[in-house]
């Protein structure tokens, strides 16, 4: 499974790149607004340091406006993925942009039926929001399972499942077990994946025992 980091903060991305564990980046209007920076400059700067896919979202709600904005965003860099909402207009825009070989990420997916439509429209990625489903009392992880089964039933559907709205490390494990192609996670959750109390205890014991030997490795 690939990891995309969900942020528009350049410093956060730079800090994670040295691990070589990041395969791409996702942004959205809320993250851009939070950064306080210009969207085109932000996406351009991210694409300069990230080789993998970088999702940049349109803000228009009309088909033609989405297509126009999508082309502008894609012109920034060849690894930009145009993010579109899972609305009827968004699906139409997805289909037309896909026909022009512009990669797309259809976002705000909350049902398997929506995911099927996104795949039929030619989406490169579909982003099911599992955390927001959990908030409404629905098992968000189950949606990943449903989409995986549907997509695997049909060889002509090659849309990737990008698990989004991930709230904790357990979400990451669950979606990976169900076959999500990508998990997009905030930087904090990505770093939390490495943590385990027994690792900390084990390391402390090893170092304590080593200190008693008086040796150095140099």
Residue 23 pLDDT > 90: yes
Residue whose tokens read 């009827």: 88
Which residue range(s) make up the domain with 28? 2-213
8-state DSSP, 100: T
Indicate which CATH number applies to the domain containing 163.
3.20.20.70
Give a yes or no: residue 130 inside a domain: yes
Closest by CA position to 140, among listed 106, 115, 116, 175: 175
What is the arithmetic mean of pLDDT over 110-119? 98
What is the arithmetic mean of pLDDT over 82-89? 98
Q: How many domains does the chain have?
A: 1
Give a yes or no: residue 172 inside a domain: yes
Give a yes or no: residue 31 inside a domain: yes
Cα dihedral 98→104→108→110 (10° resolution): 60
Considering the candidates 83, 120, 212, 216, report the single residue annotated as catalytic.
83
Counting residues of the chain whose pLDDT is more than 70, the rounded percentage is 100
Give a yes or no: residue 66 inside a domain: yes
CA distance 117 to 60: 20
Helix (H) or strand (E) holding 57: strand 54-57
The pLDDT tens digits of the residues spanning 130-146 come to 999 999 999 999 999 99
Closest by CA position to 109, among listed 36, 165, 49: 165
Give a yes or no: residue 45 inside a domain: yes
Going by their DSSP bridges, the two strands 125-128 and 104-109 should be labelled as: parallel
Give a yes or no: residue 151 inside a domain: yes
What is the arithmetic mean of pLDDT over 197-208? 97
Structure confidence at residue 90 as a pLDDT band (50, 70, 90) = very high
What pTM does this model have?
Answer: 0.94
Give a yes or no: residue 9 inside a domain: yes
**Is 212 an active-site residue?**
no
Give a yes or no: residue 218 inside a domain: no
């Amino acid at each position: 499974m690939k990891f995309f980091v969900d942020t528009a903060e350049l410093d956060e991305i730079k800090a994670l790149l040295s691990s070589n564990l990041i395969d791409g980046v996702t942004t959205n209007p809320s993250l851009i607004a939070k950064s306080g920076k210009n969207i085109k400059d932000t996406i351009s700067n991210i694409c300069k340091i990230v080789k993998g896919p970088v999702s940049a979202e349109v803000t228009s709600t009309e088909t033609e406006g989405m297509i126009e904005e999508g082309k502008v965003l894609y012109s920034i860099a060849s690894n930009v993925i145009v993010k579109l909402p899972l609305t009827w207009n968004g699906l139409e825009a997805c289909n037309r942009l896909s026909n022009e070989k512009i990669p797309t990420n259809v976002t705000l997916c909350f049902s398997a039926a929506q995911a099927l439509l996104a795949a039929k429209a030619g989406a490169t990625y579909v982003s099911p929001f599992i955390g927001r489903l959990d908030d409404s009392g629905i098992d968000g992880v189950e949606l990943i399972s449903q989409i995986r089964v549907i997509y695997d039933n049909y060889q002509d559907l090659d849309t990737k499942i990008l698990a989004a709205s991930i709230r904790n490390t357990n979400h990451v494990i669950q979606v990976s077990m169900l076959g999500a192609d990508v998990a997009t996670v905030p930087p904090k959750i990505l770093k939390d994946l490495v943590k385990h109390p027994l690792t900390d205890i084990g390391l402390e014991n090893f170092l304590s025992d080593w200190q008693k030997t008086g040796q150095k490795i140099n």
